[in-house]
Amino acid sequence: MPLTLTPNMPDQDAIYQDLIAAHEGLSKDDSDALNARLILILMNHIGDREVLVEALRAAK
């Protein structure tokens, strides 16, 4: 499965607002921890090492 880098969410603005709302009221450390947990949850959901390595390269 190749990595999808083109827009792939029907309501990108709404999901972005959900992400921002999830961080409201958190300290920097708690916000960083939320991001780390979210990344690990989504990596587990993807489950394809090749896709994840490609994503890591793209993000870097």
pLDDT in tens, 22-55: 999 999 999 999 999 999 999 999 999 999 999 9
pLDDT of residue 1 exceeding 90: no
Cα-based distances in Å from 12 to 1, 3, 24, 44, 53: 22, 18, 19, 22, 24
d(CA 31, CA 22): 9
Q: What pLDDT sits at residue 48?
A: 96
Q: What pLDDT sits at residue 33?
A: 98
pTM: 0.87
Q: What pLDDT sits at residue 18?
A: 98
Q: What pLDDT sits at residue 10?
A: 93
pLDDT of residue 58 exceeding 90: yes
